Amino acid sequence: MYKRQLLNKQQLDQLADTVKNAETKTDAEIVTVYAHASDDYRFIPTMWAAMIALLTPSVLLLSPLWLAPQDLLLVQMGVFVLLAASFQIPALRYRLIPKRMKRHRAALMARRQFLEQGLHHTKDRTGVLIFVSAAEHYVEIMVDQGISNHIDNSQWQSIVTTFTQKVKAGDVLEGFEECVNSVANVVSDVLPATHEKNELEDRLVVI
């Protein structure tokens, strides 16, 4: 079930300090982004409601009940309206969405945020995006060319897996902090801090 998980001001400040401290170990620029959801998916529940409503007359025809054509139409319409409304409840809506679609939408949102937050505009192409989409339980670490030339994407997988479990458990702050520190430790091996700079925002971006 999807629940909105907002951090309070103290937690946001704490996370910003974690990012700032992590960046003292490396020349990488770390940006954290938290999305409540990567899409509202409202068309999916409507599609499911329409499909079930279309099948309703066939089911009724196989039952011992006999209904006139106009009554079948009324029942069909009633089923559609009832299901379309019920399926908009978040707890139901997100269960109806295929996992592949949720991952695809979350991945697109991550790439959009990489561009919108300017991670591709750092001086030495050293941007690191830590992206979370809560509704999809999706976590991704994206890095710019200055880092990807030295670190294979497979090295992020264990960090992503750990953070994803934290998101599912609702431990967003702890997950972010552990992820930021783990990323900084990995990146600092190939891109240690050589000078003080801060090109991008340290505070969590909430969308």
**Which sequence spans correspond to the domains of the chain?**
9-40+98-206, 43-96
- Across the range 78-88, mean pLDDT stands at 87
Nearest 5°: phi and psi at 30?
Answer: -100, 130
pLDDT at 3: 46
Who wins on pLDDT, 55 or 147? 147
> Is the CATH number 2.60.40.10 carried by domain 9-40+98-206?
no
The fraction of the chain above a pLDDT of 90, given in percent, is 59
pLDDT at 182: 97
Identify the band that residue 6 occupies on the pLDDT scale cut at 50, 70 and 90: low
Name the average pLDDT for the chain.
89
> What's the predicted TM-score (pTM) here?
0.81
Asked if residue 16 lies in contact with residue 31, where contact means CB atoms within 8 angstroms, the answer is: no
